[in-house]
A and B are shown apart, each in its own frame.
Chain A
Amino acid sequence: MDRLIIKGGRVIDPANGVDSTGDVVIEAGAFASVGGSADVGKGDRVFDASGCIVCPGLIDPHVHAREPGGEEAETIATCAAAAVEGGFTSVCCMPNTEPALDHAASVKFVYRQSKEARRARVFPVGAVTKGREGSELAEVGLMSEAGAVGFSDDGTVVASAGVMVKALKYLAMVDRALMQHCQEPTLTSNSVMNSGPMAVRLGLMGWPAVAEEVIIERDIRLNRRIGCSYHVQHVSCAGSVELVRAARADGQPVTAEASPHHLLLTEDMCDGYNTMAKVNPPLRRQADVDAIRAGVADGTITILATDHAPHAKELKALEFDAAPFGMVGLETALGLYVKALVEPGLIDWPKLIEMMTINPARLCRLEGLPHQLGTLTVGRQADVTVIDPAESWQIDESVFAGKSSNTPFMGWDVTGRAVGTFVGGRTKLDRHGRGGE
């Protein structure tokens, strides 16, 4: 029997309340035992996890794989490779491709490409509306049956309250989350960065925080009697954190995600027309960064998501107004979350892992059948990430396995890195040759 023993690590499995030193044994692609000391038999492969954290494979519920239509920036295969490099075993790709992922055939296409890539698992998030145009509901029921793990028109908002109510009702019936890109469009036409002093200095059109807040507030009210899982994507400002906090305190089924850049950077990063810092929603001010971090610390924000948004170099080299929004995130996320949240003592490692495994798994309905991801439960398929919490490294061009390297974090020193990534028991990353091949 083919066995892999991930040996001597600090095993953290938040869903099962595990945090102890021990071994994780994988047989035939599934967890055979978790914790305790395993005897190494003849023919067993051993991955030395001493000094490392061993946890369920990391899950990113918000990436842009760009396929189909944007293959010069990323493909499902290169996105899956970038994921493995960053310690992610599953990622959920947004439907703002060309054409949009708005019907069952395109959902199946993502699964097929993901399977062929044989790296991390890539799950499709379907479009809420046909063509992401905001007017007609897409076939969300058929897409759910085909395997869509959630729904979003990400990149744009579901602006119409009437369409939103229909979508919430339908998604409540098929038990999928509605992931909203919260941006009131009439307050943000031609906007390219935060509305504030830096936009005034640079002469760029501002995107005010209130444009995010009014959508969240509206949606929470619309959903009050419907009870769909409502998820706020990439929270960018203090007011949004407050709204989500109040809704959760009121028992509403509302969740929210935070991205590395909104946890670490402010609008000042756009100075000099730095297009690497152009992202939607935009980088805001220090008070917003502090509020988002506080929202993570007090459990208002329960999910971390990169909003990995690869773009070709040529496009990011254009005028600030003309350059596309977004930055890559998969390969750099872990070290940046550590810097933003763990190093300042806002959360500990088990909480960080919970926010990167079981919480996104629940959001995207990956915990139960047929996927059963996000935990180290015996018998389930073995997606595991091994993290060296002490590895210090620098973010530079060489770290990117994906096709694009558009990041404002180039040159940053971070601590904490995935050193082993296992998908279905198979070794996808063994950074320092710790064994397991």
Chain B
Amino acid sequence: MNRTSPSSQGSSSSAAAGPGRGMGSVPAWRHRDLLSLADLSAADMNRIFDLAKHYLPLVTSRGERSSHLAGCSVVSLFFEDSTRTRLSFARAAQLLSADVFELTGKGSSTSKGETIFDTAMNVEAMGIDALVVRHNMSGATKLIADHVSCSVVNAGDGRHEHPTQGLLDIFTIRQHFGPDLAGKHIVIVGDIVNSRVARSNIYGLTTLGANVTVVGPPTLVPADLECLGVTVSHDLDSIVSEVDAIMMLRVQFERLAGQAFPSAPEYRRRFALTRERAHRMPDHAVVMHPGPMNRGLEIDSEVASHTRSVILRQVTHGVAIRMAVLRLLVQANERGMA
């Protein structure tokens, strides 16, 4: 995959430009947009992680802010429902002192038959630095990025990707195990083929050298997935004792076309992280979930709340990751480096 900055803007090969503000001597960030983790190198991701680590204390500081994006405007343009992702981006922009505006697909011009790129171009024409876009169709955020010159952050496009979720998940794993993920065994369980969270994690984790196994029913975890460089399994019991981190995806009934498995109890029997399965995990292993959880379905309540669960840390990290992403993209775009 090579879809780096599909913009009409200038060259994307100006990697040798000067240092970023207050960030020492590091190569200039080259990406105007964040649409897919398939577009990022390990160095790109580490750059985001370093900056997120720098911002993390602000997220919990109650009151302190950075002024890195003071005077900048960020619009979240959500064509699909969201609660936490939108809030997380808004919080991130706020902590960078950017102005934040929100536009939802419903009730806006989108329901009158305007194309999504016309909507985006209109928003941009009001003087916007970054668009945070969610849409229920794969590739929709790229379509918007192809039409605007401000930065675009993909906040979830259909079944394709949710790159900031992937970054915050990987950041959480790094915070726990240290920065070297080579050889770490990360297991993702659930509806993989329809999951944008899974795809982003797979791209990011494999780029960083982790071993990824995806587990779920064959209707949702087809053998075709091996083309992404992962191991496909339908047997969680045989794997659970060998994990470093296990990521339980939400069973997304609203996104499942037809009947993807016989029943919730049958799904639980094979693919839920039950208390019994959690006990068989190695002591050092952590439990993750991108939320929102179906407690008692894909994950037992006590597992979700157990000390080995890092689920709420994921949420906190999400704000820091989004701060890092917004800052890198907007500043690179302003300086014409993207």
Contact, CB under 8 Å: A272 / B138: no
* Interface residue ranges of B141-173 to A (CB < 8 Å): 142-143, 157-161
Find B138's partner among A197, A317, A320 (CB 8 Å cutoff). A320
> A200 with B137: in contact, given A318-B115, A321-B158 (CB under 8 Å)?
no
CA distance A322 to B160 in the complex (A): 15
CA distance A140 to B227 in the complex (A): 47
Contact, CB under 8 Å: B199 / A203: yes
Find A200's partner among B135, B161, B225 (CB 8 Å cutoff). B225
Q: Which of A319, A320, A321 has the most CB of B within 10 A?
A: A319
Shortest CB-to-CB span from A66 to chain B, Å, is: 21
Contacts between chains A and B (CB distance < 8 A), count: 69
CA distance A253 to B6 in the complex (A): 50
> A190 with B257: in contact, given A197-B224, A203-B159 (CB under 8 Å)?
yes
The chain B residue with its CB closest to the CB of A201 is B1
The chain A residue with its CB closest to the CB of B138 is A203
Return chain A residues, CB-CB under 8 Å to B115. Answer: 314, 317-318
* Chain B proximity mask over A403-417: 1 for CB below 8 Å, otherwise 0: 000000000000000
Asked if A109 is at the interface (CB within 8 A of a chain B CB), the reply is no
Q: Which of B1, B3, B157, B158 has the most CB of A within 10 A?
A: B158
Return chain B residues, CB-CB under 8 Å to A319. Answer: 116, 135, 137-140, 143
Return chain B residues, CB-CB under 8 Å to A318. Answer: 115, 143
The chain B residue with its CB closest to the CB of A199 is B224
Return chain B residues, CB-CB under 8 Å to A273. Answer: 138-139, 142-143
Return chain B residues, CB-CB under 8 Å to A165. Answer: none
For this complex, into which size category does the number of interface residues on chain A fall? Answer: 20 to 34
The chain B residue with its CB closest to the CB of A202 is B138
CA distance A271 to B194 in the complex (A): 18
The chain A residue with its CB closest to the CB of B160 is A203
Asked if B317 is at the interface (CB within 8 A of a chain A CB), the reply is no
Return chain B residues, CB-CB under 8 Å to A203. Answer: 138-139, 157-161, 194, 196, 199
Asked if A189 is at the interface (CB within 8 A of a chain B CB), the reply is yes
* Chain A proximity mask over B34-47: 1 for CB below 8 Å, otherwise 0: 00001000000000
Return chain B residues, CB-CB under 8 Å to A195. Answer: 224
The chain A residue with its CB closest to the CB of B222 is A200
Return chain A residues, CB-CB under 8 Å to B137. Answer: 319-322
The chain B residue with its CB closest to the CB of A321 is B137
Return chain A residues, CB-CB under 8 Å to B38. Answer: 201
Asked if A196 is at the interface (CB within 8 A of a chain B CB), the reply is yes
Contact, CB under 8 Å: B138 / A321: yes
Return chain A residues, CB-CB under 8 Å to B6. Answer: 272
Return chain B residues, CB-CB under 8 Å to A190. Answer: 257
Return chain B residues, CB-CB under 8 Å to A272. Answer: 3, 6, 142
CA distance A308 to B21 in the complex (A): 55
Shortest CB-to-CB span from B231 to chain A, Å, is: 15
CA distance A200 to B228 in the complex (A): 8
The chain B residue with its CB closest to the CB of A198 is B227
The chain B residue with its CB closest to the CB of A186 is B258
Contact, CB under 8 Å: A202 / B160: yes
* Interface residue ranges of A175-224 to B (CB < 8 Å): 189-190, 195-197, 199-206
Find B193's partner among A197, A200, A321, A322 (CB 8 Å cutoff). A200
* Chain A proximity mask over B185-221: 1 for CB below 8 Å, otherwise 0: 0000000011010010000000000000000000000
Shortest CB-to-CB span from A239 to chain B, Å, is: 17
Shortest CB-to-CB span from B224 to chain A, Å, is: 5
Return chain A residues, CB-CB under 8 Å to B227. Answer: 197, 200-201
Interface size on B, residues (CB 8 A): 30
CA distance A200 to B224 in the complex (A): 7
Shortest CB-to-CB span from B204 to chain A, Å, is: 14
Return chain A residues, CB-CB under 8 Å to B135. Answer: 319
* Chain B proximity mask over A302-331: 1 for CB below 8 Å, otherwise 0: 000000000000100111111000000000
Contact, CB under 8 Å: B139 / A202: yes
The chain A residue with its CB closest to the CB of B38 is A201
Return chain B residues, CB-CB under 8 Å to A204. Answer: 138-139, 158-160
Shortest CB-to-CB span from A187 to chain B, Å, is: 11
CA distance A271 to B3 in the complex (A): 9
The chain A residue with its CB closest to the CB of B195 is A203
Return chain B residues, CB-CB under 8 Å to A197. Answer: 224, 227
The chain A residue with its CB closest to the CB of B193 is A200
Return chain A residues, CB-CB under 8 Å to B116. Answer: 319
Find B258's partner among A189, A196, A202, A206 (CB 8 Å cutoff). A189
* Interface residue ranges of B1-20 to A (CB < 8 Å): 1, 3, 6
CA distance A338 to B104 in the complex (A): 50
* Interface residue ranges of B101-160 to A (CB < 8 Å): 115-117, 135, 137-140, 142-143, 157-160
CA distance A322 to B143 in the complex (A): 12
Return chain B residues, CB-CB under 8 Å to A322. Answer: 137
Return chain B residues, CB-CB under 8 Å to A189. Answer: 257-258
CA distance A204 to B161 in the complex (A): 11
Return chain A residues, CB-CB under 8 Å to B258. Answer: 189
Return chain A residues, CB-CB under 8 Å to B199. Answer: 201, 203
Shortest CB-to-CB span from A274 to chain B, Å, is: 10
The chain A residue with its CB closest to the CB of B140 is A319
CA distance A371 to B282 in the complex (A): 79
Return chain A residues, CB-CB under 8 Å to B224. Answer: 195-197, 199-200, 206
- Interface residue ranges, A against B (CB under 8 Å): 189-190, 195-197, 199-206, 271-273, 314, 317-322
Task: List 5 other contacts, CB 8 Å, given A189-B258, A203-B196.
Answer: A197-B227, A201-B1, A204-B159, A273-B143, A320-B139
Across the A-B interface, give the 4 residue pairs with the lowest CB-CB distance, nearest first: A203-B160, A273-B139, A203-B159, A197-B227
